[in-house]
Chains A and B, each alone.
Chain A
Amino acid sequence: MDWSVIVMQLFTGLSLGMLYVLLALGLSIIFGLLTVVNFAHGAMFMWGAYAGVSIVAMTGNFWLALIAAPLVMGGYGLIVEKGVIRPLYGRDINYPLLLTFGLQFIMVEIIRIFWGTSDQPFTAPELLSMPVELFGVFYFPSYRLFLIGMTIAICIVLWFFLEKTNLGLIIRAGTRDALMVRALGIDMGRIWWIVFGIGAGLAGIAGVLASPITSVYPEMGIPMLVQCFVVVVVGGMGSLKGAIVAGIIMGEASALTTLFYPPMADIVIFLVMAVVLLIRPSGLFGRAGLLE
């Protein structure tokens, strides 16, 4: 097989992995601080896509959708945290899990009622719809390159926010020992609130970014959620570095398997998960004991 095909496949895997990374980051940041396993994350991803579709339908502007949809979803996340998740803090980890599990069905059903079950068209802007030549040997969709770039940019912003700002410092401290941070006179409830909003916003932006690639329909978040849980578990629950590394590994694993043996492509991520968990039960970068 030609080496250029393999390089192209590696690029494909990278772009595939980027969507996993974006979603897994949101899941992981929420879990790391709040220990809430957000089962509605896939539905938030889907709502992000529908928010994008609506904004594009109203204004015809993809870039506006890219900015506004995550803000809308972030706001939604703030409402959800304050309205239904907050009362469950301090209870068993299963309570928010079951709650968000139910929430996802409500969210899917709302879309079915107002938008119907059929697919919504969503095309990439003219500028990004043409394939570009890479290294003079193969064509690659410019939109996927944009997706890779956007994800890297978001990761950098997120890193900067967590490492270099005061709020980031508090979040990191809260992840280690929330009780201690509270003892220092910081309102952790507020921090949790903000972090849930950030996680939902990340799901929203992932939804908009995924729309030109796949079809937009009410159940689009369900397969993504499964794959992203795998990514989060492999990376280590609550670890952002883990989410990024595992997301890329999973994208590449799935792409390369498709190239060499397509029938395995669907299950290879579970195989990788099994192997990783056998060697490192708490994931690649996971801290033990977070779930207890």
Chain B
Amino acid sequence: MSKSKTKKGKSEGISRRTFLKTSGIAVGAAALGGFHFVPKARAAGPVKLGAPFPFTGPYGTEATDQRGGVELAVAEINHEGGVLGRKVEVHFRDTKLKADEAARRAKELIESVGVDCMTGALSASNQLAINEQCKLAGIPYVSVSQSNEITERRDGSIYTYHEAMNPHMTTQAVGKWVAENFGKRWYFLTSDYAYGWQLTDGFRRKGKEFGIVDVGETKHPLGAGDFSAYMPRILAANPDVLIIDNFGKDQINSIKQATAFGLKKKMQIIAPILLMSSRLGAGEAAFDGVAGGTSFYWDMDIPSTKKFVEAFQKFYGRPPIDYAGYAYSGVKELLSAVNRAGSFDPVGIAEAIEDRTYDTYKGKQWWRPCDHQSQQDVFIIRSKKATEKYDVFEVITTVSGDNERLLRTCVEVGQNPNKPMRKGLLDKHKK
């Protein structure tokens, strides 16, 4: 009731009758068990984009950079005339890296702020929770950090788009490169939740093709802090390669401490997602020689990268890290699709995105219609001696993602390969 009232305040000249009519319908809809009606009743005013990220907690640094990517994308879109002729307004929220908090924040953004579309989160559990809320409300959501499940049958929907890579792609690309360049005995240090498990699982599968020996795995809790107690066990297993399947501060601390224990003398350290933020946080000595994969590095020789980096640099006075790229590209893709579709009609948006080839910041990408996963290249990088503060990695090679070679097939993710994703379309959006 109060919602429709505040909206009225913005558009002048609405007769008392229309007011009674709309609020009557709103009350009726609420009585019938849902506020789904409310977002649709919104007229002009800005287009609202919800953006929950884990700003506090072990992934805070990366989340802050994603915020930079979102802000830049929105600034550019507003500069070019906005969405459907309206300005875009971003509403950030802190998920604190907790799935329940992410769900609450997303629900609040949808029901109280009344967002038209959503991006956000880092950590699969957060993304899945936000996705769930967006599916319920019928709001398009572009997910901008790694997750396998989000495009699978159970969680994916017509409203769900996944701009980021996923653990499967990452391990397929990095695993092959590691198997071809280093020894056969692999040890895994795994962050003990879905993301870490999926990385380790992906490496094991890829490793089988190359006859890799799995010499052990240690799982650590998210945000462990001290990793020293894990080191003797790893040393005793005597692997050729130590694969560190974790993220954020865990990556900093585990690599810092592995270096202090002299592990690098005996084995190659691989981080499937080698983060620039971690490298900057840990310093040069700790990351010396560590190699791994990434979705993006600011110093890549790609025209769209140069353009994005220049704009970001102008905005923030420093180059973006990989997770800023996801957020930038995802938001641009989603909002430009709304413009092409001419409305927030989910089928229209889906048609404007599916099978589209685009290049916002890292070379050619492609939206696969069956599951709304973005196909893209993976880059292999190695930490090097910095000549200036942000010049920290060398790009060793590009693993092409063309022809779905790094993706699981549509059938594997439980989707129909011959049809675009239409699952979960709410009745109110059916024509």
Contacts and interface: CB of A to CB of B under 8 A. Distances in A.
Given A121-B281, A129-B260, A139-B262, A12 B231 contact: yes
Given A139-B261, A258-B230, A213 B256 contact: yes
Given A5-B233, A223-B225, A215 B249 contact: yes
Contacts of B230: 258, 262
B232 to A, nearest CB: 4
Given A118-B64, A139-B261, A215 B228 contact: no
Interface stretch (A33-41, A140-148, A276-284): A140-148
Given A15-B228, A215-B281, A123 B219 contact: no
Interface string A127-146: 00111000000111101100
Nearest to A140: B261
A185 to B, nearest CB: 47
Please classify how large the interface on chain A is, using the bins under 10, 10 to 19, 20 to 34, 35 or more.
35 or more
Interface of B is mostly: helix
A71 B249 CA distance: 29
A285 interface: no
Contacts of A262: 218-220, 230
A265 interface: yes
A175 interface: no
B409 interface: no
Highest count of chain B CB atoms <10 Å: which of A116, A130, A141, A254: A141
Contacts of A1: 236
A266 B280 contact: no
A262 B221 CA distance: 9
Interface stretch (B54-62, B110-118, B340-348, B398-406): B54-62
Nearest to A133: B262
Given A119-B249, A121-B283, A215-B282, A5 B256 contact: no
Nearest to B279: A121
Given A129-B260, A143-B260, A119 B229 contact: no
Contacts of B235: 5, 8, 138-139
A121 B218 contact: no
Interface string B243-283: 00000010011001100111001000000000001101111
Contact of B232 (A8, A129, A219): A8
A16 B230 CA distance: 12
Interface in B27-65: 55-57, 60-61, 64
Interface residues of B, number: 40
A212 B282 CA distance: 9
Given A121-B280, A139-B261, A215 B285 contact: no
B192 interface: yes
B261 A2 contact: no
A15 B278 CA distance: 24
Contacts of B252: 119, 215
B226 A213 contact: yes
Nearest to A258: B229
B56 A144 contact: no
A130 B235 CA distance: 16
B286 interface: yes
Nearest to A6: B232
Interface in A175-209: none
A215 B260 CA distance: 14
B223 interface: yes
A217 interface: yes
A141 B262 contact: yes
Contacts of A5: 232-233, 235-236
A9 interface: yes
A271 B341 CA distance: 58
B222 to A, nearest CB: 10
13 contacts: A1-B236, A5-B235, A12-B228, A117-B61, A119-B249, A121-B281, A129-B260, A131-B265, A213-B256, A215-B249, A215-B252, A215-B282, A223-B223
A-B complex: 8 closest residue pairs judged by Cβ atoms: A119-B281, A131-B262, A121-B283, A258-B229, A141-B260, A118-B61, A8-B232, A139-B262
Interface of B: 55-57, 60-61, 64, 192, 218-221, 223-226, 228-233, 235-236, 249, 252-253, 256-257, 260-262, 265, 277-278, 280-283, 285-286
Given A16-B229, A118-B281, A121-B282, 7 more contacts: A117-B55, A122-B283, A141-B257, A141-B260, A258-B233, A259-B232, A263-B219
